[in-house]
């Protein structure tokens, strides 16, 4: 608003500057009511926005549908990992509602991969630089193991009583020299103990570990594994598996076992106490060039024992001589057969 003062043509009167200032102060301030109205408008807009969020389409989806969507967020080619960047943990970081739904959905927590910390490898680069003393390294490794153990326990609790898929890698360079007494002592680790505590719920177990750890799984009673369908064992991290008698490797006797994956096995695989006739999936490979080999006669023998095979992958050596004739093997359900011919 603009106010101007002009002299009247019929008079010589004109207000002084002081009089003009007093007149302006007598007029109402236009900005004050506008400022108050703007604040009221902002409050109303904020109130509307808050209620608009409550009526957004995502909030109108039934919880059962959201749970199915969450489950489809899980990785399909491996177990879920304990990372806030991946499902299921990342789902609970969106909002309190999603966190509540994810925690109350047991199927979200039925797969997990646990990297067991190695007291040597996890801190080797820092030791080389002199940042961490050996004693501190042990304390730090134990702290990490305790945190992961607590997280794993909480994860498994959320899966309630459902069957679970668990995988872990244990490259523990702090283990004592391998010997028969060491194997019989059943070297313990808190994460391994936690996994063994839910053996009655195992559906699939994938392990890469030294013999001292593997023996605890190989000798597990099959009668305590009602849901176990799949075993995936990587024996490349140990050198004393030959010390474990085949008759003591009871886990292979599990009645529900259908899938068997053996990486770098030791000894004659055909002598393992497996219910071969029940298998639908069989894989036997080596990780690197060693004396291990599944000989052609052994491979033929295994195939003849597995009439229900659907998928099979075997690594056998190159035959320098023409092989003898083998009997015909009929596998009516076979969909995939891979033979890796290698040299030794």
- Determine the Cα–Cα distance for residues 191 and 146; give it in Å rounded to an integer: 8
Tokens matching residue 143: 């702290």
Residue 89 placed within a domain: yes
Residue 27, exposed/middle/buried by CB under 10 A (0-12, 13-18, 19+)?
A: exposed
Dmax (CA) for the chain in angstroms is 135
Residue 30 placed within a domain: no
Mean pLDDT across the chain:
82
Residue 98 placed within a domain: yes
Helix, strand or coil, per DSSP, at residue 94: coil
Whether the Cβ atoms of residue 79 and residue 166 lie closer than 8 Å to each other: yes
Residue 243 placed within a domain: no
Residue 102 placed within a domain: yes
Residue 241 placed within a domain: no
Count up the domains in the chain and report the number. 1
Tokens matching residue 53: 């969020």
Residue 83 domain boundaries: 56-109
Residue 71 placed within a domain: yes
Residue 333 placed within a domain: no
Q: For residue 19, what is the enclosing H or E element?
A: helix 17-26
pLDDT score, position 250: 94
| pLDDT string in tens for the chain (344-residue length) | 555 545 555 555 566 667 666 665 655 555 666 666 777 788 888 877 777 766 777 778 899 999 999 999 999 999 999 999 999 999 999 989 999 999 999 999 999 999 887 654 444 444 444 566 667 777 777 888 889 999 999 999 999 999 999 999 987 655 544 444 444 444 578 999 999 999 999 999 999 998 888 999 999 999 999 999 999 999 888 665 556 788 889 999 999 999 999 998 877 888 899 999 999 999 999 877 666 668 888 899 999 999 999 999 999 887 666 567 888 999 999 999 999 887 76
β-strand 111-115 against 164-169: which pairing, if any? parallel
Q: For residue 314, what is the enclosing H or E element?
A: strand 311-317
């Amino acid at each position: 608003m603009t106010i101007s003062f002009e002299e009247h043509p019929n008079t010589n009167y004109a207000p002084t500057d002081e009089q003009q200032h007093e007149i302006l102060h007598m007029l109402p301030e236009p900005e004050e009511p506008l400022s108050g109205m703007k604040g009221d408008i902002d409050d109303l807009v904020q109130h509307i926005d808050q209620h608009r969020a409550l009526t957004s389409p995502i909030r109108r989806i039934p919880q059962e549908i959201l749970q199915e969507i969450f489950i489809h967020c899980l990785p399909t080619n491996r177990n879920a990992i304990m990372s806030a960047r991946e499902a299921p943990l990342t789902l609970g970081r969106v909002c309190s509602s999603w966190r509540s739904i994810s925690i109350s959905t047991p199927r979200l927590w039925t797969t997990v991969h646990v990297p067991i910390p190695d007291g040597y490898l996890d801190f080797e680069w820092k030791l080389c630089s002199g940042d961490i003393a050996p004693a501190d390294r042990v304390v730090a490794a134990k702290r990490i193991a305790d945190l992961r153990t607590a997280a794993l326990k909480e994860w498994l609790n959320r899966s309630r009583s459902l069957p679970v898929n668990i995988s872990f890698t244990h490259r523990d360079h702090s283990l004592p020299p391998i010997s028969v007494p060491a194997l019989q002592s059943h070297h313990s680790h808190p994460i391994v103990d936690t996994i063994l505590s839910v053996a009655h719920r195992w559906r699939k177990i994938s392990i890469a570990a030294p013999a001292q750890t593997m023996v605890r799984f190989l000798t597990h009673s099959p009668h305590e594994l009602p849901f176990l369908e799949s075993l995936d064992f990587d024996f490349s991290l140990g050198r004393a598996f030959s010390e474990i008698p085949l008759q003591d490797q009871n886990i292979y006797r599990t009645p529900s076992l259908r899938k068997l994956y053996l990486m770098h096995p030791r000894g004659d695989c055909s002598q393992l106490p497996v219910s071969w006739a029940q298998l639908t999936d069989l894989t036997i490979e080596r990780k690197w060039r060693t004396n291990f080999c599944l000989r052609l006669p052994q491979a033929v023998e295994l195939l003849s024992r597995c009439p229900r095979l659907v998928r099979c992958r075997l690594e056998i050596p190159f035959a320098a001589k023409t092989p003898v004739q083998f009997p015909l093997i009929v596998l009516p359900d076979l969909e995939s057969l891979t033979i890796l011919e290698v040299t030794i």
